[in-house]
Amino acid sequence: MSFEPLKLRADFPALGRVFDDGRRLVYLDNAATTQKPRDVLKATRRYYEESAGNVHRAVHRLAAEATGLYEEARQKIAAFIGAPSPKQIVFTHGATEGINLVAHGWARKFLNAGDELLVTEMEHHSNLIPWQQAARAKGATLRLVPVLADGTLDREAFRRLLTPRVKLLAVTHASNVLGTINPIAELIREAHAAGARVLVDGAQSVPHLPLNVAALDADFLVFSGHKMLGPTGIGVLYAKPELLDAMDPLLTGGEMISRVWDDHATWAEPPQKFEAGTPHIAGAIGLGAAVDYLAKLGHDALRQHELALTAYALEKLGAVPDLKIFGRAPERLGVVSFALEGVHPHDVAQFLDRDGLAIRAGHMCAQPLLRRLGVPAVSRASFYLYNDRDDVDRLAAALLAVRKFFHAT
């Protein structure tokens, strides 16, 4: 598949929307969720229309077809991230559930009073609050690695904080606010040398970057399907086999058991051990279709497109008077957070929405980071495979109009 955003846009029904004033939708909120291509929509619809049986239960044809499609999706996802085995792929509702599963099933089981957990100031709340809760429950201490003015991690502070007391480093691969891509391989090596396990929040990186969990030696990795063209309500936890074996399940009930007696039960082998109840079958199948779509594009081609588009966006937005861009890390994603002097980010987003542009505004579920930046909220534009320079030009022109309107009044 050739990488041409205008042609790719035709694969996404939502991107064909034209508003009442004749302006087409410019979708720039991809860090929150991405649009869905027809391949994904067809795969989920086909399951519901043709093979809507439950998985791993009945022996009739529909159940067998559903189970086959569900497990085929697991295999595709394992290959996509370089997992040695599909048995290391646990389907969840999203990255948030994956982190909570590890916080409950591993941290609350193995942490002791006096142990430490290490996170960073750039974490999404989903990779902060579960560790706050686990630390409080076990009498452990949670410490945060600070962020420097350019939006990169303070590596000296990281090394000072990485003591033998640290049992887990939970770190985002890429910031949903700053776009910063952290040197995850180096962080994992240093954490392992200090005796700590590492959980990688890949919600922003897996959709955009080439990634091989085995080569990285990550202990845990989580990501969400809806940020990579897949359905909402489906995500993945990857973990090393010995960790999955040792962890307790978060949810119990049907499907995750081996044997049940009146007063006790034993668990199935991973990944079924962590997939209690009827899973989001259509979501997993849809995520498998999304992985197929991205694999045809190629991660390298996608990365080069986003690098060029982000550089162009930084240049164009940097020329807008009174606009401050947050984060200038040399390695970054297509995420640009900014503030327009004298205009609240929510007003910016609403003004742009009238012009057909969809961006995000708010604290981005990263209040500690915004506190470090000295602002209560920001506006954010985030790019993906179907965005092009024309989208950036529309954004820059709309921001100039916002500035003119608010400064004139």
Catalytic residue, candidates 289, 365, 395, 398: 365
Beta strand 166-172 with 116-120: parallel, antiparallel or unpaired?
Answer: parallel
- Give the closest residue to 29 by CA, choosing from 278, 369, 361, 371: 361
CA distance 275 to 254: 9
| Tokens, residue 176 | 């949903």
> Exposed (0-12), middle (13-18) or buried (19+): which is 193, by Cβ within 10 Å?
exposed
In the chain, the amino acid numbered 268 is A
Beta strands in 18-127 (DSSP E): 26-27, 89-92, 116-120
H or E element at residue 387: none
Helices (H) and strands (E) in the chain, counts: 15, 15
Question: Backbone phi, then psi, for 19, in 5-degree steps?
Answer: -80, 175
Told to judge if 365 belongs to the known catalytic residues of this protein, a careful annotator would answer yes
Give, in order, the Cα–Cα distances in Å from 381 to each of 4, 166, 208: 20, 35, 15
Residues tagged active-site? 365
